[in-house]
Amino acid sequence: MKPLPSTSSKTPVKFRMPTSENLVPIRLDIEVGGQRFKDAFTWNISDPDSEVSVFAKRTQKDLKLPLAFATQIAQSIQTQQTEFRSYKGQEMLTGEKIVPIKLDLRVNRTLIKDQFLWDLNNFDSDPEEFSKTFCNDLGIEDPEVGPAVAFAIREQLYEIAIQSVATARESRNAKKGRRGEYSSISSRSTGAALDLMKLFSNRYSGVRKRKEWDVFEPMVDMLSNEEVAALESMVEKWRDLEEA
C-alpha cells in the first residue's frame, strides 16, 4: 500500500466545529427555587442574538416554567455562545485525526452504548445525518434519542476542537521557545488520534479484527420503568453527595 500523502497535517486552521456547520452544543442545567431544568440542544452560532431571548421565552412558556427561568436560560445560552466565540480567532491543529467517539447515554427509557471513529479533518461531516441514520437503522422509536445522539457527538467534537486549540497554542510557544520538547508535545497532542498509517500499515484490508468487533458494536437497550426510577434515584444520590 502506498503511503497516503498527509495533506494538511500540520497547518493550522481557524477554529471551528469540525462539522459542515458551526452548530454549537448547548447544555442547560438551571436550578431556580427548587426546580431543576436540564436540557441539551444544538445552536447555530451564526444566528442573531435576538434569537436567544425569543428561544428562552418560548421554552419557558411551553414548559410552563416560572418566569425566572427565561432569563436564566437566556443567560446560560449567551455565556456558552461567548465562550465559543472566544475561541473563534484562534487556530487549531488538525492532523490526520481519526478520533473515537463514544456514545453512552440514556434518553427516557433507551440506553445507548456505541463507539465509532470520526474523521476530524472532514469538515463536511454531519452529526445530524449520522444520528438520523443511526436511529433509523437501529429502529429506535423514541424520537428524542436522535437529537441526544447528535448532541453527544457534537459535544465530544467540540471538546476535541478546544483541546486542539490549546495544543496549537502550546506548539506555537514551543516553536518560539523550546525546540527540544516540540516533538514530544506534538506526539502528545496526537496521542488520542490514531494515525491512519499505523492502522493500515500491516493490513491488506480495512476490516477490523474480530476481537474488536464487540467494542465497536452499537448497543441499544430499553429499560423498564422501575429501572429508570432506580437509575434516577441513584443519580440524585450521587449529586447530593457531590454537593454535600
Partner 1 sequence: MASTEPPAAVTPPSSKPNLLPLASPTIITPSAAASVAVAPTASSSSPATPSVATPRPIPSDAEVFHIPSYSCWFSLGDISECEIRCLPEFFDSRSPSRNPKAYKYIRDSIVKQFRRNPSSKITFTEVRKTLVADVISIRKVFDFLDAWGLINYSPAALNKPLKWEDKDSKSSQHAADSPAGPSLDSTPPVRETSKRLCGSCKSVCSIACFASDKYDITLCARCFVRGNYRVGLSSSDFKRVEISDEMKTDWTEKETLQLLEAVMHYGDDWKKVAQHVGGRSDKDCITHFIKLPMGEQFASSAEFGSSINKLNQMKDDNNISSSSSPSKRLCLSPLADASNPIMAQAAFLSALAGTGVAEAAAQAAVTAVSEMGQGEPKADIRSLHGVQGLQDASITSNGSDVLKSVEEAHSGVNPKPEEKKVNVEEVEEEIRRVAEVQMKQIQEKIVHFEEVDSQIEKEWKQMEQMRDILFYDQLNLLKHERAIRKSGQQAAEGVRTQGDYVS
Interface positions with partner 1 (CB under 8 A): 20-21, 23, 41-44, 46-47, 50-51, 54-55, 58-59, 62-63, 124, 126, 128, 131-132, 143-144, 146-147, 149-150
Q: How many angstroms separate the CA atoms of 164 and 85, rounded?
A: 16
CB of 153 to partner 1, least distance (A): 11
CB of 76 to partner 1, least distance (A): 14
Tell me, what amino acid is at 21?
A: E
Q: Which is nearer to partner 1, 23 or 174 (CB)?
A: 23
For the chain, how far is it from start to end, CA to CA, in angstroms? 58
Q: Which is nearer to partner 1, 62 or 243 (CB)?
A: 62
**Percentages (nearest 5) of helix, strand, coil residues in the chain:** 45, 20, 30
CB of 125 to partner 1, least distance (A): 11
Long-range CB contact pairs, 60-66, < 8 A, 24+: 63/37, 65/35, 65/37, 66/32, 66/33, 66/35
CB of 180 to partner 1, least distance (A): 43
At 144, give phi and psi (nearest 5°). -80, -10
